[in-house]
Structure 1
Amino acid sequence: MTTKLKVVVIGGGSSYTPELIEGFIKRYEEFPIEELYLVDIEPGHEKLETVGALAKRMIEKANLPIDVHLTLDRREAIKNAAFVTTQIRVGMLDARSRDEKIPLKYGLLGQETTGAGGFAKALRTIPVILDICHDIEELSPHAFLLNFTNPAGIVTEAVTKYTKVKTIGLCNLPIGTKMSIAKMMDVDVSKVDIEMVGINHLNWTTKVWIEGKEITSEVLDIMSGAKGVTVKNIPDIEWDPEFIQSVGMIPCSYLRYYYMKDKMIEKQLQDFETKGTRADEVRKVEEELFKLYKNPNLNSKPIQLEKRGGAYYSEAAVQLMTSIYNNKKDIQIVNVKNNGLISCLPDDVSVEVNCVIDSEGPTPLQLKTTLPPHIRGLLQIVKAYEELTVEAAVHGDIQAGLQALTIHPLVGSAELAKKIFKDILDKNKEYLPQFNKSNDNNGGIK
């Protein structure tokens, strides 16, 4: 650790940042930040100033001695940091909108973290994250990188494979799952423990305990035909009772895209006709939020931020930093290198599992569950897609990208994969220089 506790937020102009500031304020006694750097790029300068001013007002209201810096100089910020968090969106909401619309054009699901949309986002994001990692390796080699940027699991895998940075992938879904189960069972969340197994946005809660008593089957019974165990950006379509019982585990909300593909696509196409894509909704929410943020009298996180879809983000991020800083040895669910934990997956891929968190970072816990064939099969194919996506993003590998899209269950056709890949490359030229090796307009796809 550095002499001063310095935390860097890359993507500091994000509308999520007040959520994070609230978390730092709440946990200040355990995690006494002295220097907080909010970093952004020139196109996000105005948002950075707006969010940064609100952050300063929140900290002043809490009467805490946290020195907040706003900067476009990433290297200055990273130097001697203890923790670096990333919450970036390469291409901003315009790119997200394209990611969602391109698959819809072909009657496929358009979503920003999985399927063809998640693939496009990964191609843009991984090179930028690796560039940030090179700065960390040079300027702050002992720092922990906490990546909240989606697709979090694929980004984490790229960092573990191609850098020496101590990285942990972070998602609010595990904490959200615990919160949902606590609400369902009418108990305080502190009494709930879960085992979650899988990869980011493709995982299953295999065990649920309340005060040490296993209640997994009770939760499955309640979930059968129920709504309410989902996140804000995923349509809350009821699970089929017989199907949920056959799974034998609690699927994360993103698994609706796989298990109820036709219904989810139908719902998304209906929504697209009436209110546009999720990116269009988020744009409206962000416009409202930034109007609020500009109010010089606002000095707390506005409740409207809950519409943004990042509930419990600060809880997940700040809890993780606090546990590392204090060597807590508590259990959290994060994205880490597999290293043989899930035997049906390669050792060097990222997985999302229960880990003990101490001053050295996360150590995965031995699984209490053997994965049955129906879980193992889906997990292996989507992980293979992720492995190929990393190679495509890092090396500008057209063949790897084409195979990644073809085998993904939400694409599943070589003909469609080729058309979609062409569109992705064409619409994202300025963000995909790794594919500019070919002279033709589509980066090598004819």
Structure 2
Amino acid sequence: MKVQPTKIVCVGAGSYSFGLTTLVSLLRSPILNGSQLILVDKNEAHLAIMVELISWLNDVWDAGMHIDAYTHHRQALKDANFVINAIEVGPREGLWESDFRIPLKFGVRQPYAENSGPGGFAHAARNITPIMEIARDMENLCPDAWLINFTNPMARICAAIHRHTRIKVVGLCHQLSAGYAMVGKALANDLNIMVPDFFTSTHASPRYAASMFFTYFQAVEKVKIIAAGVNHFTWMLNLTDRKANADLYPLFRERWQALPENFEPLTRRVFDAFGLFPIPGDEHLCEYLPWVSDPVTKPWEKYELELYEWSDHEQSREDQWSSLAQAARDKANPEEFVPNYSEGAQEVIESFLTDGHLLWEALNIPNQGQITNLPLDAIIELPGTIAADGITGAQIGELPEGIAELLRREITISHLTVDAVLYGDRKLALQALLLDSVIRDMDIAQKILDEYLIAYREQLPTFWE
């Protein structure tokens, strides 16, 4: 289907996690043929590599896109129809490790430190300021554009944009794939799914990633999951056979219990306690729970929770850029290095343009009553339909009250974090930490906050104005 060419701006086009995958999927779309594709990244070296690669692929695939590039988003935004955001205040791994180690000096041991806990506060605070600059410039230069967000912490970033600007925002995340992979492992014999022996965890490590995604790609063709909650903290409400539409949840419960007990042990305990299966896998799930950071019982050892492999991922990032630079020079066979899947921006944009009424299974959007016992306007994650007139989230109704209470606390912390950063309000920042389940002492919370604000003074200017 041919549509009027559109203007797409990718801010953070040099993103390690989302940049190349997103840009390649846009180029491969016949619907977007002839559109404007503007790449933005403040890292001039990475931007130059990406521009050379994308321009070459544009020619090789005859995508007909008009490609340009800038080092500042303001140069690119005028009259944009879609803005894809994948920026990250860096250095990502170094700052993430610092987010973990600063509280550790005061005896606070976080289970992961990316999206919740004190580390989630610091991570969100650093990214909110530059992303709000993008959103506010959009209000002036392309007020009707959609902002498609990939940056974490997803719910907090989307909440900042929704609560404090007029920009329409939707967040996309692929963590539902972990849920599909775990379902695929449990139902492997029933659904004829091949599961590698080394698929032993959903943790974000190169040791597990290939086997997890291999299982996911098979499972998603055979089963359908309906999950809802907040990003990285969603719960499987329904599980059905895609062809027969048969309810597979009872069989899954039975098969899950038969899996080895050391496979996602925290997920297992939470599933038993709350009656619904948590989607994200142990390492993301652990961030939002009150029972995994006790310094005496050390439950992270019992559940074998792994920290992010900061040095390994930093090296992987450097290796990727070396490989991409080499590919750009050699004009190698694209199929040897470009990803063959999409992060979702392509499909979402296509459905907006074609009025496609696409059902997407994990959208981060404001709650307009779809989940009745979560706050209105809070950013929730759930399935939704994308059409020319916007996004309509699926009607979920009430979540079990115990689960809803866990989610409500995370939403409250999210809103306190956003408002604290935007207003430079240290009392709200302290409240955000005090509500977090990792914190057990008011004085310690204050010390962590003070040290974060000093360590990240350059990235957190609102607290020093």
Q: TM-score band, normalised by the shorter chain?
A: 0.7 to 0.9
Q: Distance in 2 between matches of 1:376 and 1:404?
A: 19
Q: Is the 8 A contact 2:108 2:439 kept in 1?
A: no
Alignment of 1:337 with 2:338, yes or no, is no
Which amino acid letter does the alignment assign opposite residue 55 of structure 2? K
Cα separation, partners in 2 of 1:86 and 1:407, compared to 1, 3 Å: same
Cα separation, partners in 2 of 1:82 and 1:386, compared to 1, 3 Å: same
Secondary structure at the counterpart of residue 458 of structure 2: helix
Question: Where does structure 1 lack aligned partners over 5 or more consecutive residues?
Answer: 229-234, 438-446
Secondary structure at the counterpart of residue 431 of structure 1: coil
Cα separation, partners in 2 of 1:225 and 1:269, compared to 1, 3 Å: closer
Across the aligned residues of Structure 1 and Structure 2, the Cα RMSD in angstroms comes to: 2.9
Q: Distance in 1 between matches of 2:101 and 2:403?
A: 29
What is aligned with 1:85?
Answer: 84
Which of 282, 294, 306 aligns to 2:325? It is 294
Q: Distance in 1 between matches of 2:369 and 2:250?
A: 28
Alignment of 1:372 with 2:400, yes or no, is yes
Q: Is the 8 A contact 2:420 2:428 kept in 1?
A: yes
Cα separation, partners in 2 of 1:246 and 1:385, compared to 1, 3 Å: same
What is aligned with 2:451?
Answer: 423
Which amino acid letter does the alignment assign opposite residue 422 of structure 2? V
- Larger deviation, residues 128-137 vs 177-186: 177-186
Normalising by structure 1, we get a TM-score of: 0.85
Q: Is the 8 A contact 1:337 1:351 kept in 2?
A: yes
What is aligned with 1:65?
Answer: 64
Q: Please state how far the C-alpha of 1:282 moved relative to its aligned partner.
A: 1.6
- Larger deviation, residues 404-413 vs 152-161: 404-413
What is aligned with 1:355?
Answer: 384
Secondary structure at the counterpart of residue 19 of structure 1: helix
Moved over 6 A (4+): 267-272
| Matching of residues 23-42 of structure 1 within 5 Å | 23-26=25-28, 28-32=29-33, 34-41=35-42
| Matching of residues 215-226 of structure 1 within 5 Å | 215-224=248-257, 226=259
Q: Distance in 2 between matches of 1:226 and 1:404?
A: 38
Alignment of 1:115 with 2:117, yes or no, is yes
Q: Please state how far the C-alpha of 1:180 moved relative to its aligned partner.
A: 4.9
| Count of residue pairs the alignment pairs up | 416
Alignment of 1:141 with 2:143, yes or no, is yes
What is aligned with 1:202?
Answer: 233
Which amino acid letter does the alignment assign opposite residue 380 of structure 2? V
Question: Where does structure 2 lack aligned partners over 5 or more consecutive residues?
Answer: 188-192, 194-217
Which of 154, 161, 168 aligns to 2:156? It is 154
Cα separation, partners in 2 of 1:11 and 1:418, compared to 1, 3 Å: same
What is aligned with 1:256?
Answer: 286
Q: Please state how far the C-alpha of 1:114 moved relative to its aligned partner.
A: 1.8
Q: Is the 8 A contact 1:224 1:245 kept in 2?
A: no
Which amino acid letter does the alignment assign opposite residue 283 of structure 1? E
Q: Please state how far the C-alpha of 1:207 moved relative to its aligned partner.
A: 1.0
Cα separation, partners in 2 of 1:374 and 1:29, compared to 1, 3 Å: same
Q: Is the 8 A contact 1:224 1:244 kept in 2?
A: no
Secondary structure at the counterpart of residue 12 of structure 1: coil
Q: Distance in 2 between matches of 1:424 and 1:62?
A: 47
What is aligned with 1:402?
Answer: 430
What is aligned with 1:324?
Answer: 352
- Larger deviation, residues 218-227 vs 246-255: 218-227
- Larger deviation, residues 400-409 vs 68-77: 68-77
Q: Please state how far the C-alpha of 1:155 moved relative to its aligned partner.
A: 0.8
1:151-196 deviations in Å (ceiling 9; x for gaps): 1111111111111111111211124534553565435524432221
1:362-407 deviations in Å (ceiling 9; x for gaps): 111111x632222022111111111111111111111111111111
Normalising by structure 2, we get a TM-score of: 0.81
1:35-90 deviations in Å (ceiling 9; x for gaps): 1111012xx11111122222223333323212222211312211111110110112
Q: Please state how far the C-alpha of 1:287 moved relative to its aligned partner.
A: 0.9
Q: Distance in 1 between matches of 2:139 and 2:86?
A: 19
Cα separation, partners in 2 of 1:283 and 1:76, compared to 1, 3 Å: same
Q: Distance in 2 between matches of 1:54 and 1:268?
A: 43
